Chain A
Amino acid sequence: MTPWLLLLIPLIGAAAIFLTKAELSKWISLGVSLFVFVISILMSVQFEQWGSMGTGLRSETSWINSMGLTLDLGADSVAMMLVLLTTLLTPLCVWGSFNAITSRRKEYYAWLLILETAMLGVFLAQDLILFYVSFELTLVPMFFLIAIYGGKNRAHASVKFFIYTFAGSLFMLAGFVYVAWQNAQTGAGGWSFAIHDLAIYASTKLSATEQGWILLALLAGFAVKIPVFPVHTWLPLAHTEAPTAGSVILAGVLLKLGTFGVYRFVLPMVPEAVVAWAPSIAILGIIGILYAALICWVQDDVKKLVAYSSVSHLGFCVLGLVALNPIGLEGAVLYMINHGLSTGALFFLIGMMYERYHTRDMNMIGGLAKRMPVWSVFMVFFVLASVGLPGLNGFVSEFMCLLGTFVSSTDAQQWPGVLGPQYAAVAAIGMVLAAMYLLIMVGKVVFGTLKEPDTTDRGSLPVDLSLREIGVLAPLAALCIWIGVQPTVLTDAMRGSVEKVLSPYPKRVKEHVEQQHSESIMLKVPESETPDKEDHHA
């Protein structure tokens, strides 16, 4: 099956929505997104590259020959997992919005489907420019989803979201074009934007300084998206103001575009620079973990709390990415999926609460276990999954990221890294804080005496969850348990891809350590030389 099906079907669905009545739009988009999900499942069954390092689902189309632009698609095992995550979350988002969206319905469901195409395009692109186009195209539907259907402060939130990401990605584009130009100058084939070729070229031929600048340019794009401290400030605002489905997609997939970008481009393209900069990136990640966790602690708004917890959680993912060993990197990829499942579900739950009570203030709501037992069960379940309770998915990935960071020392035998136990120790405080703020939230909202605000207006919704809402949450819960119990299925499947990404690193790290060692010796030598130089000046 050609991967184009995944990209074109949602677009056709979006066009169909515009041509039909508004009442039908939600059913069309649910049908189309479910159809895409089924196709992606079939593709993953036929996918032969699970566990190996190869790229499957290839489709090659030439496009603009003079610039070497192609429309090549394909997916390795990690990309395939994220494709599945996307195709799973989209129908759930559509289904979850049935009650919440009452005005401008056609546009809403059409934008969701266009967003799905853009997200899948990011994961499937094998051409840099195609990747960039998809990466940027995700901004447009999300901008409209926030700006039309968001909360009170939606105009500000949507513009801030757009400009932050847009500005960052322009530098990323400049970095990409620089690599492509260098490649075009030396290679015989002229311009090419094939990701595979450019990664090989950049990692072997570019000097350390050039790699450093490219790392900076690429991180300008990806760090905003992840988001890494200090460029995270758009996220809480966008999350809080977005409609429920928007928040779910934002947390579930859009943030992963940043970490996926690091995995797909930064790590393979500029290994020398990554080795040099990994400690700094890790420190930013750790600051993000602790700083965001402390902010969560003082939040009254439940949605804002979960939004900041995303910043904190993604910090672990960043640590895993720069740990430079398979445990850490597998943990990071697993974290992308787990965070999408559990935080996505938390946003769904908060949305369901909001639709009934029209407030998200923890001080106004309390003891919902008495009123909404089913909701409360799911709430506690996903909070525990998010906190990292052993047996559920969050624990596995968080532990792997921290373990990867811990063993990533320069004297490790097989996979030396540049982090170490001290990084893991500080980051682990974040786990304690996460338990603290999330359980405090559960304590206030779910347990205690029943408090319902004056704004309660359930409309047509039942007191507790409807079957539709349970249907949205149940698949996510099942997956959380499955990954918690059987993480090896996924980690085995991604191993080939992970090891391919990491293959140049052991050598680079050793070189880096030796270089630093010799530099520290060199530093001692000039002491005797300095007087000479002064004489010379005199």
Chain B
Amino acid sequence: MLDRLWFLIPEFILLAGAMVCAIGGISTFAPIRKRVGFIASIFLVIALFSVPYVYGQTDYTHPETMLPGLGKYIKMMAAFVGLLLVATSGGLIDRGYERAIGAGKDRFDPLRANSGEFHALLLLSLTGVMLICEARDLIWLFLALELVSLPTYVMVAISRWSKTAQEAAMKYFFLGALSAALMLYGFALLYVSTGTLVLQEITEAFSAQQNNGGLLVIAQVGMLLAIFGLLYKIAAAPMHLYAPDVYQGAASAVTAFLAFVPKTAGMIAIILLLSTVGWEDGLPPAIEMALWVVAVLTMILGNIGALLQRSVKRMLGYSSIAHSGYMLIGVIAGPELGLPAVLVYLFIYGITNTAAFATLASLSRGGKRVDSLEDIAGLYTTSPLAAASMSVASGSLLGIPPLFGFWGKLLLFAAGIAAGQISLIIVAAVSSAISAWYYLRLIGLSLLSNPHNHGERTKVTLRWPLAVAVVGACISIAGPLVLEGVMVDAKEAITLPESELAMSLPSLEVDDERE
């Protein structure tokens, strides 16, 4: 028991942080209230540094989860990108309200202040991501996934005082509940087919089934339903339709959060679930076929959808759908090259995508938030820094070498080709080429076009998001220097436990004998 708790130390730190933030946010002492973001960041930093310490101790043995090494990588990534996300939302919540209080026009009312709740929810959601890695059974997995999702619904709603944000939150919540139901039904069927909820035991049951002539149909249906529920979290087709609306409706800082945190959670959950059937003999044909179709549809629909948009946020929303499609290639390719590539890609995508949304979050035009493509035209005249960050982030998302994004794509390409998925790679290449058009549009508008004459100029009004954008752009440029380290860590994260290997070997031998 103590062993299990030891590896949850980073989660406990964030949980403590969430409580401190929630209380600090309703303090009547204004300086504390205004610095809730800093408090959240401090806890994230502590959590970030606690991870290598926790995993470096040899006194404790890691409980038998599906992928014991996964936690270290994911927790560090979540804490690091989480720091960027907290800074991106800096100055977003309660801005007008605090100003009114400062000017003496309004009185402080704990019921109306949202800053504390927002940061607490943000930390809770990140805690959920970390907990997924430690999931031993389906119940834990489900609860952790819900811990990721539930705070995000509220975050969308309180991010802006506008009807579109309320609408986005409702849409996000109802569809999210539907997908959770789908996933839960899938979990129930998995239980029916194996008689257990523990992932390790499910693995054993599956390998026994496979030795007796293949997975039960009910197990395959359960797995597919669970995966389709999770596709909602990663915004992959056919469960992607909510993404553009919700991404547009939420404030840019929250959109950056939605595009990374639930996606990471969904992706890890899919990897954990699929490792119960294993990649050794290839995924079961029905599941592989389903994932193949989903990946192709996601890449094509995401990129073509992005072409048609006139809103930057919708465009980036569709682009994040397309990126899920690219990552599914790695999931299909399997543990040797594919899964490490997915983990590396998640990290790179998290940084560059956050940088792109952070640029938007830092801007405003005539007091209104920036949304349409027209708003960022000629950005270089008012803020060269924001324009450059936007362009570098877009270039990295497109995968122009030598930016960081290119290396992520290269690893996925290599994994796909090594797994013999040539047709997927061709689709990925074609859809990447299509995506060049809209990413170039972002670069062209911000760096090359002349600003529109009518209306006010777009200006940088928030400094913290701009700082995040600049940091993200710098990492996109300098990232290749640390790529080796990230790749080694990702590789370590996908080492199967020894019992797993020992089990998979006999099953292989049995197959050989049968032939």
Which residues of A come within 8 Å of B, CB atoms? 63-67, 129, 132-133, 136-137, 139-140, 143-144, 147-148, 155, 158-159, 162-163, 166-167, 170-171, 173-174, 177-178, 180-181, 184-185
Contacts and interface: CB of A to CB of B under 8 A. Distances in A.
B433 interface: yes
A181 B417 contact: yes
B159 interface: no
B433 A133 contact: no
Interface in B425-449: 425-426, 429-430, 432-433, 436-437, 440, 444, 447-448
- Most chain A CB within 10 A, of B395, B402, B447, is at B402
Contacts of B414: 67, 177, 180-181
A147 B429 contact: no
Given A66-B487, A180-B414, 6 more contacts: A136-B406, A155-B444, A162-B440, A174-B413, A174-B426, A181-B417
Contacts of B411: 67
Given A137-B401, A148-B448, A159-B444, A181 B418 contact: yes
A65 B483 CA distance: 11
Interface string B478-499: 0000011001100100000000
Contacts of A155: 444, 448
29 contacts: A64-B483, A64-B487, A66-B487, A66-B491, A133-B401, A133-B406, A136-B406, A137-B400, A140-B395, A144-B447, A147-B444, A148-B448, A158-B444, A159-B437, A159-B440, A159-B444, A162-B436, A162-B440, A163-B436, A167-B433, A170-B432, A171-B426, A173-B410, A174-B413, A174-B417, A174-B425, A177-B413, A178-B417, A180-B414
A97 to B, nearest CB: 19
A166 B401 CA distance: 11
Contacts of B410: 129, 173, 177
Nearest to B426: A174
Contacts of B483: 64
Contacts of A181: 414, 417-418
- Most chain B CB within 10 A, of A67, A143, A171, is at A67
B436 A167 contact: yes
A341 B353 CA distance: 44
Interface string B405-426: 0100011011001100010011
A224 to B, nearest CB: 11
Nearest to A164: B433
- Determine the main DSSP class of B at the interface with A: helix
- Determine the main DSSP class of A at the interface with B: helix
Contact of A137 (B402, B430, B437): B402
The 6 A-B residue pairs with the shortest CB-CB distance in the complex, in nearest-first order:
A167-B433, A133-B401, A170-B429, A64-B484, A136-B401, A181-B418
A148 B380 CA distance: 12
A90 B406 CA distance: 28
A369 B444 CA distance: 41
Contacts of A148: 448
Contact of B413 (A140, A162, A173): A173
Contact of A139 (B400, B406, B432): B400
- Most chain B CB within 10 A, of A137, A170, A180, is at A170
Interface residues of B, number: 29
Given A167-B436, A173-B410, A65 B484 contact: yes
Nearest to B488: A66
Contacts of A133: 401-402, 406
Interface of B: 395, 400-402, 406, 410-411, 413-414, 417-418, 422, 425-426, 429-430, 432-433, 436-437, 440, 444, 447-448, 483-484, 487-488, 491
B406 A166 contact: no
A108 to B, nearest CB: 13
Contacts of B429: 167, 170-171, 173-174
Nearest to B487: A66
A143 B440 CA distance: 10
A93 to B, nearest CB: 21
- Most chain A CB within 10 A, of B410, B426, B491, is at B410
B484 A66 contact: yes
A370 to B, nearest CB: 40
Contacts of B448: 144, 147-148, 155
Given A64-B483, A66-B491, A170 B400 contact: no
Given A63-B484, A64-B487, A166 B436 contact: yes
B312 to A, nearest CB: 18
A133 B402 CA distance: 6
Contacts of A144: 447-448
A184 B406 CA distance: 21
A155 B445 CA distance: 10
B415 to A, nearest CB: 10
A158 B448 CA distance: 11
B451 to A, nearest CB: 15
A67 B425 contact: no
B487 A67 contact: yes
Contact of B433 (A64, A170, A184): A170
Contacts of B406: 133, 136
A194 B382 CA distance: 46
A163 B440 contact: yes
Contact of A163 (B401, B433, B491): B433
B311 to A, nearest CB: 20
- Most chain A CB within 10 A, of B400, B401, B437, B444, is at B401
A270 B422 CA distance: 19
Contacts of B487: 64, 66-67
A181 B425 CA distance: 14
A139 B433 CA distance: 14
A63 B410 CA distance: 15
Contacts of A167: 429-430, 433, 436
Contacts of A67: 411, 414, 487
Nearest to B432: A170
A180 B483 CA distance: 19
Contacts of A171: 426, 429
A158 B443 CA distance: 12
A156 to B, nearest CB: 11
Contacts of A136: 400-401, 406
A147 B449 CA distance: 9
A493 B310 CA distance: 56
Contacts of B432: 170
Nearest to A220: B429
Contacts of B437: 159, 163
A177 B429 CA distance: 13
Contacts of B400: 136-137, 139-140, 166
A132 B401 contact: yes
A144 B401 CA distance: 16
B321 to A, nearest CB: 19
Nearest to B484: A64
A466 B406 CA distance: 45
B405 to A, nearest CB: 12
A181 to B, nearest CB: 5
A137 B437 CA distance: 17
Contacts of A143: 440
A19 B67 CA distance: 49
A33 to B, nearest CB: 22
A181 B419 CA distance: 10
Nearest to A175: B417
Contacts of A66: 484, 487-488, 491
A432 to B, nearest CB: 38
- Most chain A CB within 10 A, of B429, B437, B447, is at B429
A170 B435 CA distance: 12
B287 to A, nearest CB: 24
